[in-house]
Chain A
Amino acid sequence: MTVTYEEALQKYEPVFGLETHVELGTLTKMFCGCITTFGAEPNTHTCPVCLGLPGSLPVVNERAIEYTIKIGLALNCSIAAWCRFARKNYFYPDMPKNFQISQYDEPLCTDGYLDVGIGGKTVRVGIERVHLEEDTGKSLHVGGATGRIQGAEYSLVDYNRAGIPLVEIVTKPVPGTRFLAPEVAKAYVTELRDVLRSLDVSDVRMEEGSMRCDVNTSISLIGSATWGTRTETKNVNSLRSVERAVRSEIERQAWVLDEGGRVIQETRHFHEDSGVTTSGRSKEEAQDYRYFPEPDLVPVAPDADWVESIRASLPELPSARRARLIDSWSLSELDFEALRNAGALEAVEATVAAGASPADARKWWLGELARRANDAGLEVSELPITPADVARIAALVAAGTLNDQLARQVIEGVLDGEGTPDEVVAARGLAVVSDDSALLAAVDEAIAANPDVVARIRDGKVQAAGVLVGAVMKATRGQADAARVKDLILERLA
């Protein structure tokens, strides 16, 4: 491929859309009473219903309906007063009935949106629909080179996942984001994940497959009246991959078009390792799913009062929280995004709640703690320090007991398991030395040891005093108040 991303977007306008599947965190499956716990021994969480045994019948899990309505409301959708399940017919060994109970032209939630913050701006991503379906079993293809069914020696199927309630959230096409398209796609999935997490309807773990994305991408010449042919990229299973998949498809499609070719509507597979997509079987495109209303289920008609009670019980959503925090902490959009991207929102909020100023809380979590988390390969939230600890450290600094350098040592002590901040201060003897007489000896020593610096200061180059301050701080192992040290030096030389 010879077209770079920048070259592609000089010429083409991208449009993307996302279909996100989310496994709901209900206790039991969509249509039977089997539990949904992840990671159990294969085929132990099954029954005649989720195995699709002859004669078995599905019964709708009311909690799954409630969760889907919650999601629809959080995404500003209309909730259908009446809707139905439909059968999606196709043959595959991990589908016990060779049809999937899904929703087709009558989804539970339609026509909403999700606002996504990007680079200080807000992009509104339209939501086409949110519908409910059942998950399939999971195939393990053994003996082939690719891990896919083609070429495998044999396949094993685990039906524990079969029948787990799955919500599909489909966006409207998102045009007009140009260079930002991959980032907006990623930011949308991030925001969606945060929304779902705040609703407590799913554990939204992309690595365990409880949240999975298919990414649709097309490009067309800038100024063109029509959009290009889209491809659907499957197997996009991390936030980073969402961004990479869109980017990779933009580059690939631009290359195809520049070579005089034509983008074909197809399913493509994203490869985490190489970051590129490859063509899926074009056979899949010939599928006719023969949807028809599921005759084993009655229509779902959520009572309006029930929907309203669900609406009333919605928690604070990420967008509202964002507005609240930006306002009460006096942040810019960029400040907020920095906090969110660092995964430090909860920690900062809890630290503020524990008494720290928003500015101090942000400073510590985005600074020293983010650095240490990064060094340790952890999320900041995973560091062994509590928001209350951080608030206490900030308070010690504000009281003059610690300076920033000492505070960093206290943090180190807490992270090393030496106890609470106060315990670390006591054990390491880290309090700021505020007794001038104790400092003066060090000041005099520094003056004596640096006659050339002293000469420059006396010539009026006051900023040179920094060298002497540094020497004093070193001599006192950081326990001096740097501002006081500077004052003492200047007084001595005056």
Chain B
Amino acid sequence: MSELTTKTAAELAAAVSTGEISAAEVTRAHLDRIAAVDDRVKAFLHVNPEDALAQARDVDRRRAAGEPLGALAGVPVAVKDLFTTVGAPATCGSKILEGWYPPYESTVTRRLRDAGAVLIGKTNMDEFAMGSSTENSGFGPSHNPWNLAKVPGGSSGGSAAAVAAYEAPLALGTDTGGSIRQPAAVCGIVGVKPTYGGNSRYGVVAFASSLDTPGPFGRTVLDAALLHEAMSGHDPCDSTSIDAPVPPVVEAARHGDVAGLRIGIVSEFSGDGYQPGVMTRFTEAVELLESLGAKVTEISCPHFKYALPAYYLIAPSEVSSNLARFDGMRYGLRTGGGSAEEVMAATRAAGFGAEVKRRIMLGTYALSSGYYDAYYGKAQQVRTLIIRDFDNAFSQVDVLISPPTPTTAFDIGERADDPMAMYLADLCTIPSNLAGNAAISVPIGLAPEDGLPTGLQVMAPPLADDRLYRVAAAVEAAFTERWGHPLLTEAKGLVTA
């Protein structure tokens, strides 16, 4: 493995900016790594080496011409396959979009290109981001670099696996119910769900519009912050984008500190269903935070227990409408003959996988006349109660913490036939999506019983994303010092191969 692929994004950007190394060299090293390991990890759905190298050479040309380079100069970024990028397909992990080349660029990836990033490839995901393992991908699952028999989490599992396997230092994901934080936790990397509206959804193929949040993956807190800052900011093309300054996340990531910080443990997120090793590491992290000067208390958020059922009404309702456009009329798969209706039905029957169909049916039912108030309407009321729980908690503490997910990575196939078991993976992450606030998952060690990574979830109020980084950076620094090395270097086999 080339040394270039183990460097952080911050190091690579600095080296490329000074001309110490070329962006082309960096990109080539990562393309080589992808070629060496991705037949086992299967993080990527689409890699175009020529295109990636062309982007890198353009960065080198800009540097040579004395043009200013951005914060991500020459840094490869893996992109979840639901961002539209010109020149590459966007399948969203679905057969129904196989072969579709979007004719326009998402705001987020355009900003990354402007910042000098090299979009190195499109990563695997659960179909239309519905799932927690990538097993719902129409193109086969990705594998966890810590143990190839395990899932990398999901839905942004390909992005998380790519970063954990050193195929890219950074990756883009989207988090609708935990789809960044949960895979980050089970892959032993950093993943952030920014404040809803902090990042543009323009060019992000919708799963559930009111919940979808683009966000960064990195191997370090600072790297995640660099990507976060580069991708964020108001976008007039997204009406739900917030017209406010981007929180100073890079600054916060450089100055980890929890001294005097008031931290609340969400008391609902423990007990039955939580893997002992996950709780062991969580407790250890709490002790660490206290030792660093934080004031830790327990806080009850009584309505969080309704978050999962509310989510499984709101998200599928939006899905049933958002995914209606995939009908074979204009792009993507078209199959069957006869009337337009017959073609639409046959195309959707053939193109969508089981989980997507399940959610379309759930959502169609929840929105239907006579049921709307009892399901969608009620779920929106629960959403309000969850926001109030957060408001109440944040009136007493600066941040909330919990495990990001109740277990470590599970076996591929283990939950594939049990949707409820799969849904529980997002138990702790969903409240932040419903409330639209910011949350991060940062590695805190390996569960003793299986040696797989666990994380700490930190939640902050909307637009206080910088708090996440301040806490996570402090945790990262203290644990790295305690362990003597970054957690990821403990991964056996593939990662160091």
Residue of B nearest to A51 (CB): B330
Flag whether A99 is at the interface (Cβ < 8 A): yes
7 cross-chain CB contacts under 8 A: A55-B83, A92-B340, A290-B364, A290-B369, A290-B372, A295-B208, A296-B240
A residues in contact with B97, CB < 8 Å: 54
SS class of chain B's interface: helix, strand, loop or mixed? Answer: loop
* Contact pick for A296, options B82, B209, B325, CB 8 Å: B209
B321 near A91 (CB under 8 angstroms)?
no
Residue of B nearest to A98 (CB): B324
CB distance from B324 to the nearest CB of A (A): 4
A-B contact count, CB below 8 Å? Answer: 104
Binary interface encoding of chain A residues 44-55 relative to chain B, with 1 for a CB under 8 A from any of its CBs, else 0? 000010011111
Flag whether B297 is at the interface (Cβ < 8 A): no
B376 near A93 (CB under 8 angstroms)?
no
B residues in contact with A89, CB < 8 Å: 320-321, 324, 367
Interface residue count on the A side (C-beta < 8 Å)? 31
A296 near B239 (CB under 8 angstroms)?
yes
B239 near A54 (CB under 8 angstroms)?
no
A residues in contact with B331, CB < 8 Å: 53-54
B237 near A59 (CB under 8 angstroms)?
yes
Residue of B nearest to A31 (CB): B239
Interface centre among A54, A92, A292, A298, by most chain B C-beta atoms within 10 angstroms, is A54
* Contact pick for B325, options A96, A149, A155, CB 8 Å: A96
Binary interface encoding of chain A residues 31-72 relative to chain B, with 1 for a CB under 8 A from any of its CBs, else 0? 000000000000000001001111111111000000000000
Interface centre among A60, A155, A292, by most chain B C-beta atoms within 10 angstroms, is A292
CB distance from B309 to the nearest CB of A (A): 18
Flag whether A21 is at the interface (Cβ < 8 A): no
Flag whether A138 is at the interface (Cβ < 8 A): no
Binary interface encoding of chain A residues 285-306 relative to chain B, with 1 for a CB under 8 A from any of its CBs, else 0? 0001011100111100000000
B325 near A55 (CB under 8 angstroms)?
no
User: How far is it, in angstroms, between the C-alpha of A58 and the C-alpha of B206 when the chains are bound?
Assistant: 13
A55 near B376 (CB under 8 angstroms)?
no
CB distance from B14 to the nearest CB of A (A): 33
* Contact pick for A155, options B90, B318, B340, CB 8 Å: B340
A residues in contact with B369, CB < 8 Å: 288, 290
Residue of B nearest to A296 (CB): B209
B residues in contact with A311, CB < 8 Å: none
A window 359-416: CB within 8 A of B = none
B329 near A93 (CB under 8 angstroms)?
yes
Known A93-B329, A99-B324; judge A292-B205 contact (CB<8 A). no
SS class of chain A's interface: helix, strand, loop or mixed? Answer: loop
A residues in contact with B92, CB < 8 Å: 54
Flag whether A87 is at the interface (Cβ < 8 A): yes
B324 near A57 (CB under 8 angstroms)?
no
A290 near B240 (CB under 8 angstroms)?
no
B321 near A52 (CB under 8 angstroms)?
no
CB distance from A218 to the nearest CB of B (A): 22
Flag whether A97 is at the interface (Cβ < 8 A): yes
A residues in contact with B236, CB < 8 Å: 59
B210 near A55 (CB under 8 angstroms)?
no
A window 279-326: CB within 8 A of B = 288, 290-292, 295-298
In addition to A55-B102, A57-B202, 7 A-B residue pairs with Cβ atoms within 8 Å of each other are A53-B102, A59-B237, A92-B340, A98-B327, A288-B368, A296-B206, A297-B239
Known A54-B92, A96-B330, A292-B367; judge A298-B372 contact (CB<8 A). no
B84 near A54 (CB under 8 angstroms)?
yes
User: How far is it, in angstroms, between the C-alpha of A56 and the C-alpha of B237 when the chains are bound?
Assistant: 9
B201 near A57 (CB under 8 angstroms)?
yes
CB distance from A294 to the nearest CB of B (A): 8
B237 near A57 (CB under 8 angstroms)?
yes
Flag whether B351 is at the interface (Cβ < 8 A): no
Binary interface encoding of chain A residues 79-96 relative to chain B, with 1 for a CB under 8 A from any of its CBs, else 0? 000000001010111001
Binary interface encoding of chain B residues 262-275 relative to chain A, with 1 for a CB under 8 A from any of its CBs, else 0? 00000000000000
Known A96-B325, A296-B239, A297-B239; judge A55-B205 contact (CB<8 A). yes
User: How far is it, in angstroms, between the C-alpha of A57 and the C-alpha of B241 when the chains are bound?
Assistant: 11
B window 80-113: CB within 8 A of A = 82-84, 90, 92, 97, 100, 102-104, 106
Flag whether B317 is at the interface (Cβ < 8 A): yes
User: How far is it, in angstroms, between the C-alpha of A93 and the C-alpha of B325 when the chains are bound?
Assistant: 9
CB distance from B325 to the nearest CB of A (A): 5
A48 near B364 (CB under 8 angstroms)?
no
